[in-house]
Chains A and B, each alone.
Chain A
Amino acid sequence: MAILRAHGLRKDYGKGTGLVRAVDHVDLDVAAGETVAVVGPSGCGKSTLLHLLGGLERPTGGEVWLGEQRIDRMPEAGLARLRRHALGFVFQGFELVDELTARENVELPALLAGESPRVARRRAAALLERVGLADRAAHRPMALSGGQRQRVAVARALIGRPRIVLADEPTGNLDSAATTEVLRLFTALRAEGQTLLIVTHDSRVAATADRVVTMRDGALVGRTHLAGAGGGTGAFAGLEG
């Protein structure tokens, strides 16, 4: 059963001759427990699609459904509730709060959701342990490597026990070693049944997915089911070309 659905999704910027269609009538279903990778060249609308699916941006047309709830017209307060309890975000630039420690960053969404500080702290500690950063919990982002920062960001995305995690170029700012760290984490999440939608232009990240969809000029132009996590690099490479 699809946990996230988009139908005829469209996003325009500008008007008249300056109109740019960033997302062009996209139909997409993401099933529960599935990992979907959205790939494509820079500027093809991948990130915009992710923002539309996560309710961070309003579409010009089309529909977005999260389970049984249509979210593209949902009031901001309702979207905020969904972001607290049903959606988790991982951004390319990590988007960690500089003045907070790793643990404080992870517990922030729980505090925003009204959890008690004690519960938030306990869950943040558990998640940091899960992403292998228990010993870095008291460090601020600037004291962490790129890979560690992104793992903190993933832990933060998971604290609300989201139905789906939306990751925007999660390895875009990472070197090869750090990318491997994050890939290992996504593979583990996939294995645990966490639903993931990952926007990426990194073939290694896409290879961890169950399914890869390709975007070009705002539209989906290809879909490929991969054999299994970590084993589909060849198929993905062929799709990209």
Chain B
Amino acid sequence: MSLEIIESCVNCYACEPLCPNDAIYQASPHFLIDPDKCTECLGDFDHAQCASICPIEGAIVDELGVALNLPGSLTGISAEMLAKYQAAVEAAYQAALDAKAG
């Protein structure tokens, strides 16, 4: 059994020093978990340490690919709000492109 860090990781280092098994290591493009070392913290802590400090919902998943931190659970930002965010980012990007085109 092992947890996995996926591509939404922002490389903030927060999880790395917490792992009781030293299973987390810096890699490109993002941190990774050595599946041979990870125990999901069983026997050491009640909750997997990496997932307990990770600020990015969905960045750490279990063997079945299920996120330990579900959308909205850490930030309070719902899927609806996230869609609004993406629209705002795209609008800002488009405005920058338009301004550049003059």
Are A and B co-members of a single complex?
Answer: no
